[in-house]
Structure 1
Amino acid sequence: MALLAVARCCSLRSGACSRSRQLLVASACGRPVWPAARGRSAVASRRPGPGGEARDCLELLRKRDYEGFLCSLLLPEKSRTSAVALRAFNVELAQIKDSITQKTIGLMRMQFWRKAVEDIYCDNPPHQPVAIELWKAIKRHKLTKRWLMKIIDEREKNLDDRAYLNIQELETYAENTYSTLLYLTLQILGVQDIHADHVASHIGKAQGIITCLRATPYHSKRQKVILPMDICMQHGVSQEDFIRGNQEKNVRDVIYNIASQAHVHLEHARAIRKDVPGKAFPAFLYTVAMEDYLYKIQKVDFNIFHPSLHKKNTLLPLHLYIRSWRKKY
C-alpha cells in the first residue's frame, strides 16, 4: 500500500513522475535503480566503465546507508550523482572502524583516503569507483578540500572506539563529520547562505547523536559503550548496564536525555526555516528519518534495545517524497 501511495503522489499535478521520483519508487519496490546494460553479461556489466562507478556508488549507499540513498534520489538531477559520490565517500570512511581488528590497519586505510583526496585535487584520482566519482564531483562543483580532510581526520580520531566524555564531545564529532558533509552537499546544490550553514550545523549534530543511539545495541553486543559518560554518571548507569541490556528506568533516562538533545537541535534548525533558501531544502531531507527514529524510541519509552527500533519503516519513501514535494525539512 505504501508503494502505491508513492506512485500516486508521483503523479500529482503533472500526471507523470520526474526521474528522481521514478528512482525512489523503483528503490522502494526493490527493483534495480540502474537498468542493466543490454547485450552484456552480468560480469561484464560490473566492470569499470562509463557510468559503472556511479552505479557502484549508488549500490554502496543502498546497502550501507539506505536512508541516505533514498534522500539522494530526491535531489535535483544535476546534483544527484555528485551527492551520491559524496555520501559514498562518507560510507567508505565510516565502515573502516567496523571492518578492522587492529587500529593500525584502520590508520592505513584512512591514509589511503587522505592521499586519494590529495591526488584527486591534482587530477590524478586512484582507480577506485568512489574516488573517481568524487573527483568528478569536485571538478564539477569546486568542493572545499579542507572539509573533506576534516571528515577524514575526525573519522580517524574515532577509530579508538571509546566512550565520549560528554555530550559536547559527541556534538563536536558530529559537527566535523555529518555537519561538514551537509556543508559539502550545500556546495553541490549551489547554496552559499549563512542561514543554510547554521541549519546544516544543527541537523548534522542531531544526526550524529541519533547515529550514536542507533549504534548502541550493536556496540553493546561487542562489549563496548560509546554513549557520553557524563550523562551515564549523572543517572548512576555503568557501561555494564548497557552490555547486559539492562532496561531499568535510569538506563532509559540516559537515552531520554541524549535523544532530547538531538530533538533540541532539530527544533533549532526548524526555527530559522523561513530564512533558508528553498534550493537548500533537499540537503536536509535526512531529518525525516531522524524524526521517525525519535518518534519510535519515544513510543517504546526510550528502551534502546526494543526490537521495533531495528525494523525498516516501509512508509519512509512516501514520507520523504511528501516532505520533498512540500519543500519542508
Structure 2
Amino acid sequence: MLKGNMAASISVKHGLASSKTSQLYGLYGKILPKPVLIQGAAEIQNVRASTSARVDPQNNEKYCLDLVRSRDYEGFLTSLLLPVEARRSSLALRAFNVELAQVKDTVSQKTIGLMRMEFWKTAIEEIYRDEPPNQPVITELWRAVKTHNLTKRWLLRIIADREKDLDDRAYRNLQELEGYSENTQSSLIYLLLECLGVKNVHADHAASHVGKAHGIVTCLRATPYNSRRRKVYLPMDICMLHGASQEDFIRGSQEKKIRDVVYDIASQAHVHLQHARSFSNSVPAAANPAFLHTVVLEDYLQRVRRADFDVFHKSLQNRNPLLPIQLYIRSWKKTY
C-alpha cells in the first residue's frame, strides 16, 4: 500500500541557505536532541497559564524555538529547513499551535480551557490592532503577521476548532476527523504558504490534503498515549464497522479487529498524501518547503505497515534517528 524506504545512499551537495557543508554541520548541531535551555515542563505550563508573562524581547525568538523543539520536534526540524526569511515566522506559528494543542491536556476543567482559548482569541484581535500583549509567543506571532500579512481567518479557525475539541469525545466518523484536521493542520499550512509568499490554488489544494493526512496520523500516533489515560478518539464509525470497542483500545489489544481499524484509518491518510502529490506538477517550487511534513507522515505510515498495523507496537514509540537526514534530502530535492 505504501511506498518503500528511499535509497540509503544519496549525495548531499547543498546546504540550508547559501553555504554547503558548513551549513549541514550547523543543521546537525541544531537538530540533535539536547536539553531545553529555558524552562522545565511545569514552568512552561505556568507561562502558558499567565496572560502577563514577561520575557526580554530579544529572547522571544529563542523562547519559541525552545518550545517548539521540546513539544513539536518534527515541526522544529521542518522549520529549520525553510528559507531564512520564513523560518522565524514558522517557529512562531508552530509555538502558537503548541500552546493551543496543549490546553486540552493541561486543564482539569473545560471551563478553564475555554478561558485559555478566549485569551488567545483576544490576543489575535489585539495583534491585528497592533496592540499585542507582552507575551513571547504572541509577540513573535505579531511580528510574523506584520512581516507576511498573515490571514487572520486561519489563526481564528485554528483556535475555534481547538476550542470545540475541548468536548473530549471520540470523532463520530472519519469525516469529522478530516474536518478537524482541515481546520487546524491545513490552516497552519495555509499560513506557512503565506510566509513563503505563495498564493496558488493548486498549493492550497495540496495543503488541504496534507493537513488532513497530518491530523489522521496524529490521531493514530496518539492512540497508545490516550489509551493509557482511558481515552479513545478514533472514529467511532470505523470502530463499529470492525466490532472494536473503546475498551479494546484501552487494554492495548492486538487483535485483528483492532489492526483492521488502524489499517482503514492509515489507508485514508495515505490516500490524502497521494491526492496532495497529484498536484505536484502544478504547485510552485517555492511552496514545497511548506509540505516537508509529508516525510514525517510517510515515515509513520511505513512503520505502522511494517508493524502489521499494530498501533501499540513498541517500534512505533521510538523516534526515527534518520528522520533529520530524510527531511534534509527531501528539502534538497525540492519535492514533497
The alignment's TM-score, normalised by the length of structure 1, stands at 0.90
Per the alignment, residue 241 of structure 2 pairs with: 234
Residue 124 (structure 1) shift: 0.9
Distance 1:33 1:239 in 2: 36
Cα distance, 1:24 vs structure 2 = 2.5
The answer for the alignment partner of 1:87 in structure 2 is 94
> How far did residue 28 of structure 1 move?
2.9
Shift of 1:310: 1.0
Q: Which residue of 2 aligns with 1:193?
A: 200
Shift of 1:65: 0.4
Deviation, 1:25, is 1.2
Which residue matches 1:56? 63
Structure 2 counterpart of 1:26, one-letter code = G
In 1: Cα distance, 2:280 partner to 2:201 partner: 12
Distance in 2 between residues matched to 1:183 and 1:88, nearest whole Å? 16
**Structure 1 residue 292 and structure 2 residue 303: aligned?**
no
Number of residue pairs matched by the alignment: 311
Equivalent residue, structure 1, for 2:144: 137
- Equivalent positions of 1:27-66 (< 5 A) are 27-30=30-33, 48-66=55-73
Name the SS of the counterpart of 2:320 in structure 1: coil
Distance 1:93 1:316, change over 3 A: same
Return the alpha-carbon distance in structure 2 between the equivalents of residues 29 and 172 of structure 1.
34
Query: Is residue 155 of structure 1 aligned with residue 128 of structure 2?
Result: no
Partner in structure 2 of residue 128 of structure 1: 135
Cα pair 1:6 1:317 within 8 Å, conserved: no
Give the direction of change, closer, same or farther, for the CA distance of 1:18–1:91 in structure 2 (3 Å limit).
farther
- Residues 117-153 of structure 1 show CA distances to partners (whole Å, capped at 9, x for unaligned) of 1111111111111000000000111111111100000
Matches of 2:290 and 2:26, distance apart in 1? 17
Q: Distance in 2 between matches of 1:237 and 1:309?
A: 21
Aligned to 2:28: 25
Alignment of 1:16 onto 2:23? no
Q: Which residue of 2 aligns with 1:266?
A: 273
Where structure 1 has 5 or more consecutive residues not aligned to the other structure, the ranges are: 35-46
1:193-212 deviation digits (Å, cap 9, x = unpaired): 00000000000000000000
Verify: 1:206 aligned to 2:213, yes or no: yes
- Indicate yes or no: 2:123 matched with 1:119: no
Partner of 2:329: 322
Q: Are the counterparts in 2 of residues 23 and 33 from structure 1 also a CA contact under 8 Å?
A: no
CA contact (8 A) 2:79 2:87 kept: yes
Residues 322 and 238 of structure 1, relative CA distance in 2, 3 Å threshold: same
Counterpart in the other structure of 1:42:
none
Change (3 A) 1:275 1:229: same
Instruction: Give the Cα separation in 2 of the matches to 1:22 and 1:184.
Output: 29
Candidates 158, 170, 175, aligned match of 2:182: 175
Corresponding position: 1:165 with 2:172: yes
SS of the equivalent of 1:96 reads: helix
Distance in 2, Cα, partners of 1:10 & 1:326: 10
Per the TM alignment, residue 23 of structure 1 is displaced from its structure 2 partner at its CA by 4.6
CA–CA distance in structure 2, aligned partners of residues 147 and 223 of structure 1: 32
Q: Deviations over 1:198-254 (max 9, x none)?
A: 000000000000000001111111111100000000001111100111110011000
The separation in 2 between residues aligned to 1:183 and 1:108, in whole angstroms, is 26
SS in 2 for 1:224: coil
Fraction of identical pairs, as percent: 61
TM-fit CA distance, 1:49: 2.8
Whether the aligned pair in 2 keeps the contact of 1:23 and 1:73 (CA below 8 Å) is: no
Residue 310 of structure 2 corresponds to residue 306 of structure 1: no
TM-score, structure 2 normalization:
0.88
Q: Report the CA distance between 1:161 and its aligned residue.
A: 1.5
Note if contact 2:82-2:289 (Cα within 8 Å) is conserved in structure 1: yes
* Aligned-residue offset at 1:7: 11
Aligned to 2:50: none
Residue 214 of structure 2 is aligned to residue 216 of structure 1? no
